[in-house]
């Protein structure tokens, strides 16, 4: 009886927290609109939607990893590498479908690499994913030699630039993967085991959960979604560019934490993460519309990240 009551209280708390961040998103959007009414123009909303798709896909993967008790710092560099690779494959004559499948396989193998190092070799996730961050960015630069890969098939551009009934196609991709992640975390045994693993890995192991497989799943998912994002950005830019994705890993982590995901693991929701990604996108867009110097953008986003982490720590202490 007590467990049922606690579960109801927990669900109520999560719902309230998501309602709060949704209110913050609305207030933020309203404030920017007052200063610059162009914020609500259809053209600008399209831009925001495409940016939300990028941050949202990365943040969903990051949320799964963090819920399982880990962290993934490599996603920004993987975005650059996978975007370069898909462009390279198509440039060398492979079809769009084959190029995408190969890139997604490669990105998934990178996630498997992370998961095996973390679970079998006991390498801290911060270290192995930081190493991949550097290596993937370097490999992307080696492949391109500093020059973008251009001359891609025009049909490929639909992925990042097209829309269906006025809805940007990247946003449709985000909704699809968000629904899958939501279903897994909310209604499956795998999802419950992920929360248990992140909450207390030793207790989860003693209860019979194969925590290694669960954690490997999160890293593969994160890298896979980074591959999807890299393909979208390559399509959006009409080229493979080694310089994209800088700082995206921090934005993804910030979006997850703003949405209520706890950096200590075992807590977070996909809905909250999506709202967090929307907040990050609105902030980026607002800085541009308000004509704030680009030199200040990193300063503002750094403050947002620090604030998000501080709120996470505050929430955790408040529950103790």
Is residue 221 included in any domain, yes or no? yes
Is residue 310 included in any domain, yes or no? yes
Is residue 87 included in any domain, yes or no? yes
Is residue 9 included in any domain, yes or no? no
Confidence of residue 4 (pLDDT cuts 50, 70, 90): very low
| Residue 70 pLDDT exceeds 90 | yes
Is residue 248 included in any domain, yes or no? yes
Report the percentage of the chain scoring pLDDT > 70: 93
* 151-182 residue pLDDT tens: 999 999 999 999 999 899 999 999 999 999 99
| Residue 5 pLDDT exceeds 60 | no
The tally of domains found in the chain comes to: 1
In three-state form (DSSP H/G/I as H, E/B as E, the rest C), the secondary structure along the chain is CHHHHHHHHHHHHHHHHHHHHHHHHHHHHHHHHHHCHHHHCHHHHHHHHHHHHHHHHHHHHHHHHHHCCCCCCCHHHHHHHHHHHHHHHHHCCCCHHHHHHHHHHHHHHHHHHHHHHHHCCCCCHHHHHHHHHHHHHHHHHHHHCCCCECCCCHHHHHHHHCEECCEEHHHHHHHHHHHHHHHHHHHCHHHHHHHHHHHCHHHHHHCCCCHHHHHHHHHHHHHHHHHHHHHHHHHHHCCECCCCCCCHHHHHHHHHHHCCCCCCCCCCCHHHHHHHHHHHHHHHHHHHHCCCCHHHHHHHHHHHHHHHHHHHHHHHHHHC
pTM for the model stands at 0.91
CATH code of residue 160: 1.10.3470
| pLDDT average, residue stretch 264-270 | 90
Is residue 231 included in any domain, yes or no? yes
Confidence of residue 16 (pLDDT cuts 50, 70, 90): low
Is residue 37 included in any domain, yes or no? no
| Residue 3 pLDDT exceeds 70 | no
Residue ranges making up the domain that contains 201? 42-319
* 28-61 residue pLDDT tens: 999 999 999 999 999 999 999 999 999 999 999 9
Is residue 64 included in any domain, yes or no? yes
């Amino acid at each position: 009886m007590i467990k049922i009551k606690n579960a109801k209280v927990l669900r109520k708390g999560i719902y309230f927290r998501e309602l709060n961040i949704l209110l913050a998103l609305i207030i933020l959007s309203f404030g920017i609109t007052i200063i610059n009414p162009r914020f609500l123009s259809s053209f600008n909303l399209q831009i925001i939607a495409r940016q939300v798709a990028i941050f949202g896909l990365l943040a969903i993967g990051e949320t799964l990893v963090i819920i399982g008790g880990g962290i993934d710092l490599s996603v920004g560099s993987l975005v650059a590498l996978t975007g370069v690779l898909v462009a390279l494959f198509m440039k060398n004559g492979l079809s769009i479908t084959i190029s995408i499948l190969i890139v997604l396989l490669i990105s998934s193998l990178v996630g498997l690499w992370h998961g095996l190092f973390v679970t079998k070799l006991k390498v801290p996730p911060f270290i192995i994913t930081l190493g991949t961050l550097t290596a993937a960015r370097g490999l992307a630069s080696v492949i391109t030699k500093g020059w973008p890969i251009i001359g891609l098939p025009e049909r490929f551009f639909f992925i990042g630039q097209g829309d269906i009934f006025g809805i940007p196609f990247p946003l449709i991709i985000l909704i699809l993967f968000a629904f899958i992640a939501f279903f897994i975390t909310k209604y499956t045994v795998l999802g419950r085991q992920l929360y248990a693993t992140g909450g207390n890995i030793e207790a989860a192991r003693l209860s019979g959960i194969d925590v290694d497989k669960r954690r490997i799943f999160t890293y593969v998912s994160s890298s896979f979604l980074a591959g999807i994002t890299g393909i979208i950005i390559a399509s959006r830019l009409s080229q493979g560019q080694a310089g994209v994705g800088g700082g995206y890993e921090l934005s993804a982590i910030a979006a997850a934490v703003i949405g209520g995901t706890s950096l200590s693991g075992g807590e977070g929701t996909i809905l909250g993460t999506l709202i967090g990604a929307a907040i990050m996108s609105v902030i980026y867009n607002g800085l541009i519309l308000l004509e704030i110097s680009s030199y200040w953008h990193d300063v503002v986003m750094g403050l947002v990240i620090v604030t998000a982490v501080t709120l996470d720590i505050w929430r955790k202490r408040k529950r103790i």
